Chain A
Amino acid sequence: MSSPERWTAARPDSPAATAATPTAEQVIAGLRATSEGGADLVQLLTPEGERVTHPDFDIDIEPAQLRALYRDMVLVRRVDRESNALQRKGELALWVPLLGQEAAQVGAGRAMRPQDMAFPSYREHGVAWCRGIDPTDLLGIFRGTDHGSWDPIEKRFGLYTIVIGNQVLNAAGYAMGQRFDGKVGNSDAEGNPAADDEATMCFFGDGATSQGDVHEGFVWAAVYDAPLVFFCQNNQWAISEPTERQSRLPLYQRARGYGFPGVRVDGNDVLACLAVSRWALKECRRGNGPVLIEAFTYRMDAHTTTDDPTRYRLSDEVEEWKLKDPIERVRAYLARNGLADAAFFEQIQEESDQLAVRLREFCVNIPDPPPDRIFANVYAEANPVLERQREDMLGYLAGFGGEH
């Protein structure tokens, strides 16, 4: 992958679409098809569960590792479905489903080393899982009890960022810091990065690529050679707007204009996502960053629990993508090749049931924060104006004798 010519090869013979190429039948049916990623799509496990090879990105993986990836995806999906249900029951104010994006997130998340840093947007429950964030720690945001409860520095996982694109610049700055701290480019003679070399991964959507902050993030990371992997999950939709509304060019091809590699990977193929992410992170640790990865995937559920996708997309499209389910293909591969038996699948099922119970119980028992939490941590240092407002509020509430 050294030659820039390879990064984002234009292929007039088989143009990669911004979203994907509709078949003739689909065009006739008036369908906007999104299911084909084009000739540059990196894939290692087909939707049917066939292992295929790739000249640039391949991966040696033990059955145990593959089973672990399967487990991750099943549990992450269960967290997602359970949280969605909790919203339906009124226990959460909102949920942002990741259904369909498990492979992209687990593949990327498991490619990271402990010392690497991640900057998520708001749908990255699978990456959070890989960074060791307990799923219960995500609930406060959606129940309205906090804005995020984990320690971003300890977990190496930034806060969920709702303002589209903001985190991309924050990630670029963090990655610049990794470089300034000498944590990049300490490879040995074989080109293997040192054990404590670092990189950063930044997550955003297809819609986010239109934001100025993402463009600026590309520019900054490039000119400072920052060890930053831009991981764009193209789930084909930004709420109701298709990727064509964001770009003429397939998103991965944008990288070339900024002077770094861009790769489109099958975002429903956990092996390919792991392989491409590992490669990209290694390139970054070696001082060859940044890298853009476009994970070509699909948002199987609504944008959030308040969205109604029937207003803007056809169920045929969803049906098409169901055939590319990220979990089913791994299950098929494991089962067909005798790498996992029925007991394994049962055990994962049981584990996921237990997780769901734990999540439910935790959620309904989250206490409401005390009123003066409003004032906590606005500033790191004392602020007399806020201190006074806090006292006024507590005095006012005390006037109700605890009845308020």
Chain B
Amino acid sequence: MAAPTLDSSAKPQQITMAKAINAGLRAAMDADPKVLVMGEDVGKLGGVFRITDGLQKDFGEHRVLDTPLAESGIIGTAIGLAIRGYRPVCEIQFDGFIFPAFDQIVSQLAKLHYRSQGKLKMPIVVRVPFGGGIGSVEHHSESPESYFAHTAGLRVVSCSNPVDAYWMIQQAIDSDDPVLFFEPKRQYYSSKAELDTSITPQPLHTSRVLRSGAHATLASYGPSVKVCLDSAAAAAQDGIDLEVIDLRSLSPLDLDPVYASVRRTGHLVLVSESPGEASLNSEIVSRVSQECFYSLQAPVLRVNGFDTPYPPSKLEEDFLPDLDRVLHTVDRSLAW
């Protein structure tokens, strides 16, 4: 496979999310020789999803490291490399395999800046392909982002489209804080979007209104954003006007646009694939009810994965939030 470099003429072009992240990594590596890419199979193979395709060929084995098969090792050594002045971008092959690294992420990566009173910076990005809907075996479809949003010292973001993916990966690499970067894997190749590299992107830790509407607000991130947009399109045919917000940043949350929206619509439905108990969505419910108490015409409702392990893939359609569940929940809210 040829290295998916961006067309050198800077005119807008149609690219997939996979290619957008690749191009973003490439741009970051071009800009700073201290940026390293490391992970299992990221070199020769270009990663199991080919996100790092061609990078090792172009930047060499010392900048794109095929690491031993040990996730704690990936994060643990990235921390040492960061102390040494590098900016590692680590790939965790699948969401369900981040847990061997959980200790290094929570105990060291998240805390070293604090523990060193600001003397050690941790400019490390941990890329995690996440979410379900790909018909895979267990441990390959999970949504563990709430664990990390719960952890002080980490930043957590998720992209929902190729254009954001291109900019957000570069902004994450630019950050002097550790960033958990959640990529909706089922959208890597599902669609293309027009990327114009000449624009100035919005700041990393901001959410965005993707569609404005007057009757109710949908807020979501990662793979569920598309579900929300599709739901809004369907609802429009029934004369229901839904606003859709892509949260983008999961820690810190940027909820001002959500508050502003709820103050207008009075109804909020949150959508995420992760189990809902003690999750990001629970946090958003709490904050919205505090900030918008008198504007709400119904309690904030949620469409989440169930509080079960991710089911066998024959059952995942019933597990994952889809258009019907979203619209059903919107109806419940509007009828409250």
Contacts and interface: CB of A to CB of B under 8 A. Distances in A.
Q: Do the two chains bind?
A: yes
Interface of A: 119, 146-149, 151-153, 158-159, 161, 163, 166, 168-178, 180-181, 212-213, 216-217, 219-220, 223, 376-381, 383-386
A51 B85 CA distance: 44
A381 B112 contact: no
Contact of A220 (B68, B83, B252, B253): B68
Nearest to A385: B252
A153 B80 contact: no
Contacts of A173: 76-84
Contacts of B67: 220
Contact of B112 (A159, A168, A175): A159
Interface stretch (B20-28, B115-123, B218-226, B265-273): B115-123
A174 to B, nearest CB: 4
Interface stretch (B40-48, B102-110, B191-199): B102-110
Task: Give the interface size bracket for B toward A.
Answer: 35 or more
B85 A177 contact: yes
B155 interface: yes
Contacts of B78: 173
B73 interface: yes
B115 A169 contact: no
A159 B113 CA distance: 11
Contacts of B293: none
Given A163-B107, A171-B80, A381-B177, 14 more contacts: A149-B117, A153-B83, A153-B119, A158-B83, A169-B76, A169-B104, A172-B77, A173-B78, A177-B85, A213-B103, A220-B70, A380-B118, A380-B122, A385-B253
Contacts of A152: 83, 116, 119-120
B318 interface: no
Contact of B108 (A163, A216, A223, A379): A163
B119 A216 contact: no
A378 B113 contact: yes
Given A172-B76, A173-B79, A220-B77, A166 B118 contact: no
Q: Which 9 A-B pairs have the closest CB atoms?
A: A173-B80, A169-B76, A173-B77, A177-B84, A174-B80, A380-B176, A216-B73, A377-B118, A147-B115
Interface of B: 62, 67-68, 70, 72-73, 75-86, 100, 103-104, 107-108, 112-122, 152-153, 155, 175-177, 251-254
B114 A163 contact: no
Nearest to A213: B72
Contact of A213 (B76, B115, B251): B76
A173 B252 CA distance: 28
Contacts of B73: 169, 172, 213, 216-217, 219-220
Given A166-B103, A166-B104, A216 B76 contact: yes
Contacts of B253: 385
A282 B107 CA distance: 32
Contacts of A158: 83
Q: Which of A177, A178, A180 has the most CB of B within 10 A?
A: A177
B81 A176 contact: yes
Contacts of A159: 112, 115-116, 120
A219 B68 contact: yes
